[in-house]
Amino acid sequence: MTTHVLILCTHNSARSVLGEGMLNHLAAKLGKDVRAHSAGSAPAGRINPFALEVLKNAGVDTSGFRSKSWDEFTTEGAPPLSIVITVCDSAAAETCPVFFGGTGGQPAKVHWGYPDPSNAEGGEAGKRRAFELTRQALGYRMLQLLALPLATMDRASLQAALDAIGRS
C-alpha cells in the first residue's frame, strides 16, 4: 500500500516543492512505495525557477510540478495521507485543515523547518547556492524517512521516528 506524504509550505513554490521532488526521486530510485505531494496555505501560483533548476540539476523530473492549495488534499478524492510535513515556520504556525489519513486515521504531523532560500543574499549566485543547500538538506531527511519500515509502523512509532529525524 502506498504511503502518501504531504509537504507543506505557505506558498508552495520552493521548500515544499524541493521536498516533493527529492522524496519522489529517491523513493523511485530505492524502489519504495512512497508518493510525495506538496501544497501551500496561500499558493504563489508559480514555482520558483531556482527550485526547478536545482531539482533538474540533481536529475529530478519536474514535469507536472505546480503550485497548489492544501485544500486539494482535504476533499473526498484526495490521497489517504500517512504523513504531513511542514517545512516553513509560517506554515507550521497556521491552523492546518483536517487531512484524511489512511487506515490509521489522521496522518502523523511533523515540522522540519528550513529558512526560505528565496530570501538568500548574494544575488542569483547566493540564491542558487541556498536552493541547492536546501535541496540537499531535504534530500538527507527524505532518505532517513525512506529508511523507516513505513508499512509496518504504528502511528506512535512513526511519529517518534519523524520527530527524531527532525532533530538530526
Q: For residue 139, what is the domain's CATH number?
A: 3.40.50.2300
Burial-class residue 64 by CB neighbours within 10 Å (0-12, 13-18, 19+): exposed
Q: What value, to the nearest 5°, has the Cα angle with vertex 50 and ends 43 and 25? A: 85
Higher pLDDT, 94 or 62: 62
Question: How many independent structural domains does the chain possess?
Answer: 1
pLDDT of residue 99: 58
10-25 pLDDT, tens per residue?
Answer: 899 999 999 999 999 9
If pLDDT is split at 50, 70 and 90, which confidence band does 103 have?
very low
Q: Which of 5, 6, 9, 148 is catalytic?
A: 9
Q: Which of 17, 85, 88, 165 is catalytic?
A: 88
Position 3 pLDDT exceeds 60: yes
48-61 pLDDT, tens per residue?
Answer: 999 999 999 999 99
Does residue 29 have an active-site annotation?
no
Q: Which of 96, 133, 137, 146 is catalytic?
A: 96
Rg (CA), the chain: 15
Q: What range defines the domain where residue 90 resides?
A: 3-167
Does residue 126 have an active-site annotation?
no
If pLDDT is split at 50, 70 and 90, which confidence band does 46 have?
very high
Coil, strand or helix at 29: helix
Distance CA(51)–CA(53), nearest Å, equals 5
Does residue 96 have an active-site annotation?
yes
